[in-house]
Structure 1
Amino acid sequence: MTAAALGAWIVFEDEAGFSMTPPSRGTWARRALTPTIRMRGWTRCRVTLAGLCCYKPGERSRLFYKLHVHNRRPAKGERRSYDWRDFRWLLVYAHGRLGAPIILIWDNLNTHRTKGMREFIEVTDWLTVYHLPAYTPDLNPVEGIWSVLRRTAHANTVFATPEDLVRALRTGLKKIQYRSHIVDGCLAATGLRP
């Protein structure tokens, strides 16, 4: 069955990590005076994002995300990434907001293939899952969202605390959420159509 026959949303999922050390973009300075910025302390802090780009013909494109801050030194047994329950929460949240079945397209991350996630997918009637082929990030529009975020909210900024980084990422993601043409552009860049 197709997404149109089911009245379903086509949803792409991906994860990305952001650190306190931002990517540098082009900048201007006086000749022979290259600008340098010193960072102290919190450089080991990392923020992981899981995002969903949602598409349905005749509807405005949507973006949902979940943000996780990693401690500099995690406690024993603490995960440094998402587990299958985090992905389940994000999918249930998106389904509630979209109000329609979801056709999920994501990569072969080991967390996506855990026993708990497989059982959740089997018992959930509103969710159909397809895996992307290996090494094909160019087919996932969420990669474009991460690229936009790195070039805007995350670029050329020194974050004094992890809270500053989280605030900048949330602000950047909110701007993208309110501009659905950016989410549409990320899909167009893949060459795919909903």
Structure 2
Amino acid sequence: MRYAMGGGLTAEDHDCRERVRREVAHLFERGESNRQVAAGLRVSERSVERWRRVWKAVGWRGPTSRCRLDEEQLLALEAEVDRGPAAHGWVDQRWTSAQVRELIIRMFGVEYSVPGVWLLLCRREAWPRVER
């Protein structure tokens, strides 16, 4: 799984990770040691050390990005991607992230960045290869 990009996580899993992150930030603010945090959360001290370095460098930034499309919308998008670019007015037969971005905007009115579309597509293994 590619946790850094959120791949494979359900909304419930994502919320659970976010609760843990908030708890860790709270414990750091209270001055808890790495050992105490690790024992309380049942994780390795090495992980806590890494989290503390990030927390000191950038603080807690709030939730990581979450997919803005629900499962029904993702299935509808997948069906349209399967139809191919020509069915949507593009002359070539190979999807690009920019084209999929435009399709998402047309279908759902939701805006993603081109790299965000790439990450979204990486999460969905069943989709055809899209050129970055």
TM-score normalised to the size of structure 2? 0.28
Write 1 or 2 for the structure with the bigger share of strand.
1
Q: Highest relative contact order (Cα 8 Å, sep 6+), 1 or 2?
A: 1
